[in-house]
Amino acid sequence: ISNAVPNTNANNFIIPEGEEATICFIISTCEYCADTIEALEDHISDAIDPKFQKYIDTTAQQENFHDVTAKCLKVLVSGLMTRGQAELKTLTETNWSTFEHVGEESSYVHSLTRQILPFVALVRGHVPQSYFRSFCDKFATSFTARYYNILVKLKRINEMGVQQLLLDTYNLKTCFLKLPVVEPTLIGSKKVGGDNINNHLMSSTTSIAPAMYTKLVTKQFKRIETLLKLVGTPNSMLIEVFKNQWPCGTAADLQGVMAIKGLKRTEQASILEKFGLDPQNALRGATAGLKSEDIVVERMQLFKQRTTTTVDRVTNDLSQMRQKVDDFRKAFSG
């Protein structure tokens, strides 16, 4: 059985369409075998001569089946994450700095939902409930971590972009809260891989997700929502709101928020200094994470600004001197 499971040393797994059912069948088979071996051990111990009972131990065999099950769960989680790579790439390629209108959920969210729900519904229909709950926990944790990491790498998100991402985050959270109670589907069912998302949510009206799972998802998405709300906060209120919304946040966290806001290094240094860092560390913190070419560009822009200011000042001084000379000449001629 273990030979049928991909090597879990890899970071990402690609599960061909429909092959997630095969992984589910392996999980169910391993569960059955582990339970059967345990029952067989008890049966043999009862039937064998008492002096040989101490030699009847199938713990190692049971652990082997449990190990395969754990590998299968990892493959399912990673395989589903891989299927959403194209949609998450769309998120990273969107120019959120010029976003103009907030509408319905973004297309990448709708597409992600269409990928996730049928997959989860099939898993629920083919693995024991305890393993399904573990799968939901692991997938929710993995997805929210990746989504957060993508957001912190975005730069210059404008106000409309923040509002759209908050709406997208809310819709994703709503989807994830319903995962443990999606209507299960079986191989051969017409709804397997179907496009109607509502088909997979029919049982959510009569079932409640486990409290621990709901708490996990809510906590993970709150972290994402807090980040986006801080990005949308005016600079003048940023420190106050940051301390209130992110009590345990560090200067590095604050600098990350400012980087997403697209603040200049000098602006970041000023805010970090007000946050409590000394000027030198504030400037060093504002530079953290910047590439050398970014610093060069910023310095060139600052140099151009200073040069323009100097030229304007000199031109103004010369104009004033010429005016004084002309006035002197007129007075002398008179």
> pLDDT per residue over 113-171, tens digit each?
999 999 999 999 999 999 999 999 999 999 999 999 999 999 889 999 999 999 999 99
Q: What is the pLDDT of residues 168-222, one digit of tens each?
A: 999 999 999 999 999 998 876 555 444 555 555 444 444 788 999 999 999 999 9
Phi-psi region of 163 (alpha: psi -120 to 50; beta: other; left: phi over 0): alpha
| ∠ CA 318-324-325, rounded to 5° | 90
| Under 8 Å between Cβ of 81 and 143 | yes
Q: What angle do CA 15, 19, 25 make, to 5 degrees?
A: 125
Q: Model confidence at 297, in pLDDT bands (50, 70, 90)?
A: very low
The CA-based angle 213-218-223, given to 5 degrees, is 130
| Residue 62 token pair | 């049971």
Average pLDDT, the chain: 82
Q: How many residues does the chain have?
A: 334
- Residue (of 70, 149, 85, 84) closest to 120 by Cα position: 84
| CA angle (50, 55, 61) in 5-degree steps | 135
What digits encode the pLDDT tens for the residues 103-114?
Answer: 889 999 999 999
Backbone angles phi, psi at 57, to 5 degrees: -145, 115
Nearest of 121, 92, 117, 107 to residue 24 by alpha carbon: 121
Contacts of 147 (CB under 8 A, 6+ apart): 88, 169, 172, 224
Six token digits for residue 120: 């989860």
Which pair of structure tokens corresponds to residue 42? 């008890």
What pTM, to 2 d.p., does this model score?
0.76
Measured CA to CA in angstroms, residue 4 lies from 69, 91, 125 at distances of 12, 34, 21
- CB 163, CB 104: distance < 8 Å: no
On the question of pLDDT at 311 being above 70, the answer is no
pLDDT digits (tens, 9 = 90+) for 39-82: 888 888 888 888 887 888 888 888 899 999 999 999 999 999 99
